[in-house]
Amino acid sequence: MRIGNLELKHGVMLAPMAGYTDRAMRLVCHEAGAEYSVTEMVSAKAVVYNDKKTFTLAKIQTDEGPVAIQIFGSEPEIMAEAASRLIKSSLVMPAAIDINMGCPVNKIFSNGEGSALMKSPELIEKIVRAVKEAVTVPVTVKLRAGIDDNNINAVECSLAAEAGGACAVCIHGRTRVQMYGGKADKNIIKKVKQSLQIPVFANGDITDADEAVEMLRETGADGIAVGRGAVGNPFIFSEIISRIEGDSYSPPSLNDRIDTALRQLRIAIDDKGERAAVTEARKQIALYVKAFHGAARLRGLINGAESYAEVKAAFDQIGE
Number of other residues whose CB lies within 10 A of the CB of residue 7: 11
The torsion defined by the Cα of 235, 241, 244 and 247, in degrees rounded to 10, comes to: -80
CA 89/CA 65 separation, integer angstroms: 19
* Burial (CB count <10 Å: 0-12, 13-18, 19+), residue 31: middle
Beta bridge partners of 142: 100, 170
Active site residues: 103
In 3D, which of 73, 70, 56 has the Cα closest to residue 123? 73
Q: Which of 275, 238, 289 is nearest to 34 (CA)?
A: 238
The alpha carbons of the chain give a radius of gyration, in whole angstroms, of 19
3-state secondary structure of 71: strand
Residue 24 CA to residue 30 CA, distance in Å, equals 10
